[in-house]
Amino acid sequence: MKVTIIYTSPNSETKARQVASQVSALSNGSQAIVVQADLKEIEAPEKIVAATVEAFGDKIDILVNNAGVLFGKTILETAADDYAAIFDVNVRAPLLMTKAVVPHLRAPGRIVNLSSVGARSGFEDMALYSASKAALEGMTRGLAAELGHHGHTVNCVAPGPVKSEMLDGVPKDIVEMQLKTTAVEHRYGTV
Ligand SMILES: NC(=O)c1ccc[n+]([C@@H]2O[C@H](COP(=O)([O-])OP(=O)(O)OC[C@H]3O[C@@H](n4cnc5c(N)ncnc54)[C@H](OP(=O)(O)O)[C@@H]3O)[C@@H](O)[C@H]2O)c1
């Protein structure tokens, strides 16, 4: 595969470059580029696609909308600005990434969105995060119907607890509850 890896903060730059090196080191024709972009910005998806097309040519086969932000506050602590901060990354960015990629998508194209078990479960103090993932699932179904005519599929992956920096921010009692209902060995997923 020829892969474009996006990072936004200095926190992720080193890790993104390490993954790109691992892909290039496969010595099987795979290549990777790294692009800095903030998916809160409306222009970011066009910038990402332009860099991809410039590096690898006009056709794109797979889009993975993985970037996401967690939110854990009570309703009384939640401010109107929080809504934009969460929905801009978790919902608007996948929408605009899809819009930017579709003109280049080669059938059978694959679009994979990262939802969460939170889209369908009620977790205390996580209403805004859950709402954003439920919105993403609705968008996924609509886009699957629309893009299916062209031979593409659009799906969500809805993980339970997976060890990552994000999971470190989820209250331990919620993680314990999720692990109890995780069918496979009641254990964490791994990246
Ligand atoms: N871990 C879990 O248990 C779990 C469970 C269910 C669903 N998920 C979903 O899985 C996906 C990956 O989560 P994770 O656990 O790997 O979380 P993570 O460790 O916090 O990583 C999230 C990634 O998203 C990037 N990101 C955040 N805001 C961005 C922005 N404005 N522009 C571009 N990139 C941005 C982050 O980049 P920076 O580091 O540079 O900010 C980071 O690389 C998310 O959509 C999450 O909601 C995770």
pLDDT digits (tens, 9 = 90+) for 96-146: 999 999 999 999 999 999 999 999 999 999 999 999 999 999 999 999 999
Is residue 116 located within the same domain as residue 176?
no
Q: Mark whether 116 is an active-site residue.
A: yes
Is residue 96 located within the same domain as residue 65?
yes
Which mutation among 36, 117, 164 tests ligand 1's pocket best, with the greatest number of atoms within 8 A of CB? 164
Please tell me if the CB atom of residue 11 comes closer than 6 angstroms to any atom of ligand 1. Answer: yes
Is residue 144 located within the same domain as residue 167?
no
Q: Is the pLDDT of residue 15 over 90?
A: yes
Is residue 62 located within the same domain as residue 137?
yes
Exactly one of 133, 163, 172, 180 is catalytic; name it: 133
Residue 21 lies in a domain: no
- The H or E element that residue 65 is part of is strand 60-65
Predicted pLDDT of residue 191: 85
Distance between CA atoms of 69 and 118, rounded to whole angstroms?
Answer: 13
Mean pLDDT of 80-92: 98
Expressed as residue numbers, the domain containing 175 is: 163-191
Residue 10 lies in a domain: no
What residues contact 102, with CB distance under 8 A and at least 6 apart? 147
Is residue 130 located within the same domain as residue 93?
yes
CATH of the domain at 68: 3.40.50.720
- The H or E element that residue 80 is part of is helix 80-87
Is residue 172 located within the same domain as residue 97?
no
170-185 confidence digits (pLDDT tens):
999 999 999 999 989 9
Q: Contact 8/38 with Cβ under 8 angstroms?
A: yes
Distance between CA atoms of 119 and 123, rounded to whole angstroms?
Answer: 10
Please tell me if the CB atom of residue 157 comes closer than 6 angstroms to any atom of ligand 1. Answer: no
Please tell me if the CB atom of residue 182 comes closer than 6 angstroms to any atom of ligand 1. Answer: no
Is residue 102 located within the same domain as residue 129?
yes
Is residue 102 located within the same domain as residue 168?
no
Please tell me if the CB atom of residue 86 comes closer than 6 angstroms to any atom of ligand 1. Answer: no
Average pLDDT, the chain: 96
